[in-house]
């Protein structure tokens, strides 16, 4: 471990912690201006007047403001902060790095039991990791976790694909939202040809080396010293 603390101050609003990945009222998503780019490998979806900041992992990402102003919208995840948190393994509550924050180089993952996602080996998820102290804060103060939560230590979380909106090639008609996912977004792996027709809204990873955690209070207190 380094001597710099990876846990950052958490933003509070009305007695509740505001997750770093939560969207705020001044961060609403504007209408997206889409186009089709013709490349050597075929046609693909793109944003009009695209710049390098618009495309990540080869996929166009939804354009939206990132100002954290107004009021927090706890129920909404901010697309750009989610991607940053997932790709750099930043804590979803405080936004600080989770890499190097534990002596065993694993990361802690936490989610509401009701959310529909589990923490099984090989499971895909859109919920970024969390620091141990931030997980304790979240389970104590975040209402969705008050109905139960799942936690696990995870060895690695390679990127799998994106969650987003799929557009029909040619017509650019938006495919209907998924009804079997809480956010209505389609999950598209990077290996699928559909990846060329999705506007990404979340980065999706898979979890490997999953060890369930049932007691956050005891976590790290019993961890062996790391030299």
- Asked whether 76 and 120 are in contact (CB, 8 A), the reply is no
Among 18, 90, 94, 142, binds Zn ion (CB under 5 A): 94
Q: Does 135 bind Zn ion (CB under 5 A)?
A: no
* 134 lines the binding site for Zn ion (CB under 5 A): yes
Q: How far is the CB of 135 from Zn ion (least distance, A)?
A: 8
Cβ at position 188, least distance to Zn ion in Å: 29
Contact 123, 152 (CB under 8 A): no
Nearer to Zn ion by Cβ, of 45 and 91: the residue is 91
If binding is defined by CB under 5 A, does position 91 make contact with Zn ion?
yes
Asked whether position 138 contacts Zn ion by CB under 5 A, the answer is no
Among 59-67, 108-116, 133-141, 144-152, the segment contacting Zn ion (CB under 5 A): 133-141
User: Measuring CA to CA, which residue among 156, 153, 96 is closest to residue 122?
Assistant: 156
What's the CA gap between 60 and 128, in Å, rounded?
20
Q: Does 90 bind Zn ion (CB under 5 A)?
A: no
Least distance (Å) between residue 198 CB and Zn ion: 30
91 or 142: whose CB is closer to Zn ion? 91
Residues that bind Zn ion (CB under 5 A): 7, 91, 93-94, 131, 134
């Amino acid at each position: 471990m380094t001597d710099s603390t990876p846990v950052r101050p958490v933003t509070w609003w009305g007695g509740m912690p505001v997750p770093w990945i939560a969207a705020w009222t001044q961060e609403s998503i504007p209408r997206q201006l889409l186009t089709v780019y013709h490349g050597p490998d075929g046609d693909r979806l793109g944003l009009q007047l695209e710049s390098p900041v618009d495309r990540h992992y080869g996929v166009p990402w939804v354009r939206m403001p990132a100002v954290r102003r107004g009021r927090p919208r706890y129920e909404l995840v901010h697309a750009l902060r989610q991607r940053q948190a997932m790709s750099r393994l930043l804590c979803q509550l405080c936004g600080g790095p989770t890499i190097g924050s534990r002596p065993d180089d694993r990361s802690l993952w936490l989610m509401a039991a009701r959310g529909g996602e589990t923490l099984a080996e090989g499971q895909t998820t859109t919920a970024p990791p969390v620091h141990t102290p931030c997980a304790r804060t979240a389970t104590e103060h975040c209402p969705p976790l008050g109905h139960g939560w799942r936690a696990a230590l995870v060895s690695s979380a390679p990127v799998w694909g994106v969650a987003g909106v799929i557009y029909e090639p040619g017509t650019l008609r938006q495919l209907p939202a998924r009804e079997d996912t809480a956010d209505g977004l389609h999950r598209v792996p990077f290996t699928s040809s559909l990846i060329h027709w999705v506007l990404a809204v979340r980065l999706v990873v898979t979890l490997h080396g999953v060890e369930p955690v049932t007691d956050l209070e005891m976590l790290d207190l019993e961890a062996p010293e790391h030299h």
